[in-house]
Structure 1
């Protein structure tokens, strides 16, 4: 979609998982590649935001842009990643996906993207009663609010959503199987995945 940049958030430490989740595989495909493919269906440009220790590894496995959080906000979680990409890109919307949703599909991104319009600051998946701030879109106008939160060391996505006009998209808007929105935190949480 014109005017939209994709962001794969892959900066977490994956402590519970035991190894970087971005490089776990489902059916031979890296988790982060699944997120990239989903975003490619709707965005002009894609950034992978990663931890400094993983940047070289990503660059060996993908031609997408790989960046680290802006230094002064490094370690402040997803908000810092969104902020960094908003500084880098010029598009109106930032479409965010985490790297640990291996069942995400391009069709879901396409359906979600249809809800992006000027009335909202953010469009967020909230299927089956679970608000997923890292599956959705943020308008450029949220940039100043994100910066304020980061400066205040308030890194909670909920703090941002509380300050935005949000459109929550649910199963009433479009139906998808619940597994699509599942985050994988432990290797035993998915069937045929190999790390």
Structure 2
């Protein structure tokens, strides 16, 4: 069931990065860009990968890039675009701004996957993380319906799905931290670059 040829890795990199002031996916950290860290975390688990982004500079990573099918509609549209182009039922979806993400954490999502579930996501503290999750392609029609109705909030969509949530242990929570601002980046470097 969880053989890697049955899983696609979808990296969401379509955000505006307003709070960072520069393209988050291309921010360097420990000798690699954020996007490369996410690619490395996904690679052992998936057969196919795609990046959802309108930015052609991501083509240098040698991974299929697909543009947002619905422009300026946020992560929900990014998820829709990624699932639309995926050829597999199971999809590991990760945003580009989690440079500490690792393979073993993503493996947990797959280990908890069951046929009855539409998605498996993490929770850190009291916050769920629908941008680091396993999604089934079968949710595509209901995702489209919500977008058509003008809804843009990913969490609103997640509330309609059969979901399993894995609460992260305190000692691994930092792997799922998303880096949105220069301050976040400085804190990351201070904490983990010793």
Q: Same fold (TM over 0.5)?
A: yes
In structure 1, C-alpha distance between the alignment counterparts of 2:66 and 2:156, rounded to whole Å: 24
Q: SS in structure 2 opposite 1:69? A: coil
In structure 2, C-alpha distance between the alignment counterparts of 1:101 and 1:85, rounded to whole Å: 18
Q: SS in structure 2 opposite 1:2? A: helix
Q: SS in structure 2 opposite 1:32? A: helix
The equivalent of 2:178 in structure 1 is 183
Within a 5 Å distance, the mapping from 1:1-195 to structure 2 comes to 1-50=4-53, 52=54, 54-55=55-56, 57-60=57-60, 62-70=61-69, 73-171=70-168, 176-189=171-184, 190-191=188-189
In structure 2, C-alpha distance between the alignment counterparts of 1:34 and 1:132, rounded to whole Å: 18
Residue 129 of structure 1: how far off its partner (Å): 2.1
* 1:97-127 residue CA offsets vs partner (Å, 9 max, x unmatched): 0111111111111122111120211101113
In structure 2, C-alpha distance between the alignment counterparts of 1:18 and 1:85, rounded to whole Å: 25
Residue 175 of structure 1: how far off its partner (Å): 6.4
Residue 89 of structure 1: how far off its partner (Å): 1.9
In structure 1, C-alpha distance between the alignment counterparts of 2:115 and 2:170, rounded to whole Å: 24
Counting matched residue pairs gives 185
TM-score by length of 2: 0.89
In structure 1, C-alpha distance between the alignment counterparts of 2:96 and 2:17, rounded to whole Å: 11
Asked if 1 retains the 8 angstrom alpha-carbon contact of 2:5 and 2:48, the reply is no
In structure 2, C-alpha distance between the alignment counterparts of 1:104 and 1:139, rounded to whole Å: 21
Q: SS in structure 2 opposite 1:133? A: strand
TM-score by length of 1: 0.89
Say what the alpha-carbon RMSD is for the aligned residues: 1.6
In structure 2, C-alpha distance between the alignment counterparts of 1:83 and 1:186, rounded to whole Å: 26
